Amino acid sequence: MAYKKTEQYDEDVTAGLIKTYKESIDLLGEDSEREGLLKTPERMAKAMQFLTQGYQLDAHAILESAKFHEDVNEMVIVKDIELYSMCEHHMLPFYGKAHIAYIPNGYITGLSKIARVVDVYSRRLQVQERLTHQILDAIKDTLNPQGVAVVIEASHLCMMMRGVQKQNSVTTTSAFSGQFEKNETRSEFMKLISATLH
């Protein structure tokens, strides 16, 4: 029995991207008809749709799908959430980790939903600064917590592979709301995401 991989992609989008990527390969001086590149435009078309699938997802709906009433008001932290995104300036990847905390105000959400919110916004053409704030705003608007904190650490291939070519550089962005605007709460969060507790 032959191997068959099933994935679903928009046929019109795929066809348009295949044509564009085929032309791009030829413009770069390659032969899009040679054996090794024959299926490359199709693979690129599907890869880009996968890498930008966040446009089809709703972060608020994801959080609402596992929103529970709970009388707790201690900090909830999900740290070291892997993220992969695409720099909108160069269409090159950036990747790293997100550390997210919120202080409930009557409602909590499933822990996996926090990670899914990261995917919703990272699987788009992005800048790290906006990504950080979009994650914070989605949690703040849906759960109405006492505060939200988001810190992202990422390496950008647009800085590593081209331009200044600094392979060891890491960019850190942060956003805080509510209780996390207070130095004491923010310091506790920063200490906890830096600690090795397990």
Confidence at residue 164, expressed as pLDDT on a 0 to 100 scale: 82
Query: How does pLDDT run across 43-56, given as a tens digit for each residue?
Result: 999 999 999 999 99
Closest-CA residue to 48 (of 83, 23, 81, 21): 21
Is 128 annotated in the active site?
Answer: yes
Q: Mean per-residue pLDDT for 65-84?
A: 97
What CATH number matches the domain at 59-194, 3.30.1130.10, 1.10.760.10, 1.10.10.10, 3.40.50.300?
3.30.1130.10
Closest-CA residue to 60 (of 146, 147, 135, 150): 135
% of the chain beyond a pLDDT of 90: 88
Confidence at residue 8, expressed as pLDDT on a 0 to 100 scale: 80
Which two three-digit tokens encode residue 133? Answer: 């704030």
**Active-site residue among 42, 60, 146, 158?**
158
Provide the terminal-to-terminal Cα distance of the chain, rounded to the nearest Å. Answer: 46
Helix (H, G, I), strand (E, B), or coil: what is residue 198?
coil
Supply the CATH classification number for the domain 11-51. Answer: 1.10.286.10
φ and ψ at 78, to 5 degrees? -120, 115
**Active-site residue among 23, 30, 33, 89?**
89
% of the chain beyond a pLDDT of 70: 95
Confidence at residue 2, expressed as pLDDT on a 0 to 100 scale: 57
Confidence at residue 51, expressed as pLDDT on a 0 to 100 scale: 96
Is 88 annotated in the active site?
Answer: yes
**Active-site residue among 82, 88, 129, 181?**
88
Separation of alpha carbons 151 and 100, rounded Å = 7
Q: Mean per-residue pLDDT for 165-170?
A: 84
Confidence at residue 64, expressed as pLDDT on a 0 to 100 scale: 97
Q: pLDDT grade, residue 4 (50/70/90)? A: low
pLDDT at residue 9 is higher than 70? yes
Separation of alpha carbons 45 and 170, rounded Å = 29
pLDDT at residue 3 is higher than 90? no
Helices (H), the chain: 11-27, 40-51, 59-64, 111-122, 128-143, 157-160, 183-194
pLDDT at residue 143 is higher than 70? yes
Is 90 annotated in the active site?
Answer: yes
Is 70 annotated in the active site?
Answer: no
Alpha carbon distances (Å) from 11 to 5, 16, 54, 115, 168: 16, 9, 18, 29, 40
Domain boundaries defined on the chain = 11-51, 59-194
**Domains 11-51 and 59-194 fall in the same CATH topology:** no
Which two three-digit tokens encode residue 32? Answer: 């899009």
**Active-site residue among 99, 134, 156, 179?**
156
Query: How does pLDDT run across 93-103, given as a tens digit for each residue?
Result: 999 999 999 99
**Active-site residue among 60, 64, 90, 153?**
90
**Active-site residue among 49, 126, 128, 134?**
128
Q: Mean per-residue pLDDT for 167-182?
A: 95
Confidence at residue 5, expressed as pLDDT on a 0 to 100 scale: 55
**Active-site residue among 49, 87, 126, 134?**
87
Confidence at residue 18, expressed as pLDDT on a 0 to 100 scale: 98
Q: pLDDT grade, residue 162 (50/70/90)? A: confident
Is 156 annotated in the active site?
Answer: yes
Q: Mean per-residue pLDDT for 104-122?
A: 98
pLDDT at residue 125 is higher than 90? yes
The pTM for the full model equals 0.92
